[in-house]
């Protein structure tokens, strides 16, 4: 890993993922996590203060980027519950079947190259009755915005650490065998519409 991936990109991602509207999105979903939690693409651990510590036994923080794990260190040192790093991508979750009560996915599905394989892995490690909590951005419902998303995406991806702005989050979840129990959507305020459409909710195994 080079200087850019270890030091510059983690700062850019941490700052882009810590805007006020994005923190509000986190508030809507992260406190619902309970038990043994797998957070996929934990990044710089911005979600940690949003967990309800009374309900969380521990968190596995799956994060393939060493630079992001380094950036997360100060937040981990203040955590009220144990956090264990899994330094692998979501396509290779190194946990037993049915290990997690909750899988948390925030602003990460956009970046995972083989999202179908990663979602299959999340389903495998989620206990029967467990919940997948998600807060993601993705394809917009308005055709004109969607057209721009498709046009801009190839270039966006290069500059945004592999992030795609045009993934249809509910469709990907359903196609991977998740049942969506609740779903909310909106354009994030103060963000160019091409990158602003948000999906958040709860899914479980079908």
Nearer to ligand SAM, 61 or 170 (CB): 61
Nearer to ligand SAM, 70 or 143 (CB): 70
Q: Which of 31, 166, 68 is nearest to 109 (CA)?
A: 166
- CB of 43 vs ligand SAM, minimal distance in Å: 3
Determine the Cα–Cα distance for residues 169 and 60; give it in Å rounded to an integer: 23
- CB of 156 vs ligand SAM, minimal distance in Å: 12
> What tokens does 2 get?
């080079």
Nearer to ligand SAM, 118 or 133 (CB): 118
Sign for the CA dihedral angle at 10, 44, 62, 87 comes to positive
Nearer to ligand SAM, 68 or 125 (CB): 68
Q: Which residue's beta carbon is nearest to the bound ligand SAM?
A: 43
Footprint of ligand SAM (CB under 6 A): 13, 17, 40-43, 46-47, 62-65, 68, 89-91, 106-108, 111-113, 118
Q: Which of 190, 181, 163 is nearest to 106 (CA)?
A: 163
Cβ(169)–Cβ(136) below 8 Å: yes
């Amino acid at each position: 890993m080079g200087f850019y991936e270890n030091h510059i990109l983690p700062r850019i991602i941490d700052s882009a993922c810590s805007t006020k509207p994005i923190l509000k999105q986190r508030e809507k979903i992260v406190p619902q996590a309970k038990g043994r939690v797998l957070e996929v693409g934990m990044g710089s651990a911005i979600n940690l203060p949003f967990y309800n510590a009374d309900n969380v036994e521990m968190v596995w923080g799956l994060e393939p980027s060493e630079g992001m794990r380094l950036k997360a260190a100060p937040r981990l040192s203040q955590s009220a519950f144990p956090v264990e790093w899994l330094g692998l991508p979501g396509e290779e979750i190194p946990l037993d079947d049915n290990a997690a009560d909750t899988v948390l996915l925030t602003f990460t599905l956009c970046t995972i190259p083989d999202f179908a394989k990663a979602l299959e892995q999340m389903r495998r490690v989620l206990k029967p009755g467990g919940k997948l909590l998600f807060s993601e951005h993705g394809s917009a419902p308005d055709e004109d915005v969607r057209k721009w998303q498709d046009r801009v995406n190839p270039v966006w991806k290069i500059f945004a650490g592999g992030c795609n702005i045009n993934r249809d989050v509910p469709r990907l979840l359903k196609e991977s065998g998740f049942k969506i129990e609740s779903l909310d959507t909106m354009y994030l305020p103060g963000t160019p519409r091409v990158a602003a459409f948000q999906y958040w909710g709860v899914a479980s195994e079908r």
